Amino acid sequence: MSREAPRRLLAPIALLPDGWHADVGLDLDDDGTLTAATPGAAAFGRERLDGPVLPGLPNLHSHAFQRAMAGLAEHRDDDPEDDFWSWRRLMYGLAATLQPDEVEAIAAQLYVEMLEAGYTAVAEFHYLHHQPDGRPYDDPAELSERVIAAARQAGIGITHLPVLYMTGGFGGKAPTEGQRRFLNPPDRFLKLVDRVRTRHRGDAEVAVGIAPHSLRAVPPEALAEVAGAVDPTTPVHLHIAEQTGEVEQCLAWSGQRPVEWLLAHAPVDRRWCLVHATHLTPEEVGRAAASGATAGLCPTTEANLGDGFFPAEDWIAAGGAIGIGSDSHISVSGIEELRWLEYGRRLLARRRNRLTTRTGAHDLFQAALSGGARACGRAIGRIVTGARADLVILDGESPALAEVPAGQLLDALVFAGNANPVKHVMVGGRWRVRDGRHLDRDAVRARYRRSVAAVRGRL
């Protein structure tokens, strides 16, 4: 089966930035960029796609290696206060044992799953840099290159975000043994970023940003140094205000809450992604939303870790951008992330339709597309001239979508049923998923199973 798509396609119905349109002609150049998206196009000379067409969703927050521990931390021992901080100890145990081939195999499996779910791009928040004992590899970018290689094998677009990690807590607390694979000083970190960017310059499916891990892991002077050293278009992602414990520690250290401190000390703007940002005051909501930063929301992971609820209604009302990510990958479904973003608000309010108002799921879905594209720093998330040809074709005959009017297709997609309605997926003009199966699913899965068997044998 050819991976290359014809250069002229016809979508029976497609989601454009201003809504659904019928008979949309899609023209692609040889590089996989859309050169036209024309509603009401004639069918002559075009290959007709066999279902509703969406832009591919960007997944703006991923720790790929954590796919290997999904489902293995769902028990409580003798600690009645089991929370994010106890889960983190288990995660460090996994991180300590991984070898380069295993990092690549796990990431490739994850990225295949993302594509089959309708994600066509991922922002990989990557903080595994060194050997298990903390010594750098001969190539300091060894593990970054493994993750990028996995993305290329699967065929997903990637924004690679090497992580700066220096301390074990606010105020320069010493890092723990479990964090030694993550650690770099700013100068070595910036050399790593430059090395990766240089190697992949010109590749339309690879972008490179930076990820100062969090305020607790990056001292103020280091945050200022790395944020000021990169090009002003470079994506900048960091975890912030995820848990109440983090807020309390930041207050004790600085007298300010995490987002309050960040807005006062860093040049936060459209290139920034504030991952989680769960615990915000009304003033922080207004100021952070006005900065142009994207809130990187991962509802299934945030629920799994007991983080709390992001104030989504207030953020969106303030004009804030949002995107979704699968983070720890206990779920790899953009539909589920959006569903639980809405359901969390319903549970808190004990009312229906909090974010899905007059437009149903339409505005919520479009917000995840645009915010995710902004956070990834790539021309994705829209079916328009100049965007990458990242397309998801739905199975219009699936029970959840059959005979649903166009204006309610996104409502049915997000809220009706659990069967995956993704039929075909194209990334950069190349087919990656056909009839619900990734074209390399079996080979990637076999490598993954060998790798996780070895990893779990060492845990």
- Residue 276 vs residue 5, higher pLDDT: 276
Between CA 289 and CA 258 the distance in angstroms is 15
Q: Per-residue pLDDT tens for 64-80?
A: 999 998 887 777 776 66
**pLDDT for 251:** 98
**pLDDT for 458:** 84
Name residue 336's amino acid.
E
Please name the residues in contact with 235: beta carbons below 8 A apart, sequence gap of 6 or more.
123, 159, 161, 207, 209, 210, 271, 272, 273, 375, 376, 377
pLDDT at 135 over 90: yes
The architecture CATH gives domain 8-55+382-442: Roll (2.30)
Give the Cβ contact number of residue 43 at 10 Å: 11
Between CA 291 and CA 277 the distance in angstroms is 14
- pLDDT band for 1, please (50, 70, 90 cuts): low
Catalytic residue among 126, 200, 237, 276: 276
What is the enclosing helix (H) or strand (E) of 43?
A: none
Mean pLDDT of 5-32: 96
Catalytic residue among 129, 237, 239, 327: 327
- pLDDT band for 281, please (50, 70, 90 cuts): very high
**pLDDT for 83:** 67
pLDDT at 63 over 80: yes
Report the mean per-residue pLDDT for the chain. 95
Task: Indicate the range of 82-91, 182-191, 405-414 predicted with least confidence.
Answer: 82-91
**pLDDT for 6:** 81
**pLDDT for 87:** 73
pLDDT at 34 over 60: yes
Q: Is 276 a catalytic residue?
A: yes
**pLDDT for 370:** 98
**pLDDT for 286:** 98
Contact status, residue 155 vs residue 92, Cβ threshold 8 Å: no
**pLDDT for 82:** 65
Between CA 38 and CA 18 the distance in angstroms is 13
Name residue 114's amino acid.
M
Task: Indicate the range of 22-26, 83-87, 203-207, 262-266 predicted with least confidence.
Answer: 83-87
Q: Is 327 a catalytic residue?
A: yes
pTM here is: 0.97
**pLDDT for 78:** 66
Mean pLDDT of 120-136: 97
Torsion sign, CA atoms 305, 313, 384, 19? positive
Share of the chain above pLDDT 90, in %: 91
Token pair for 1: 């089966």
**pLDDT for 81:** 67
**Three-state secondary-structure class, residue 26:** strand
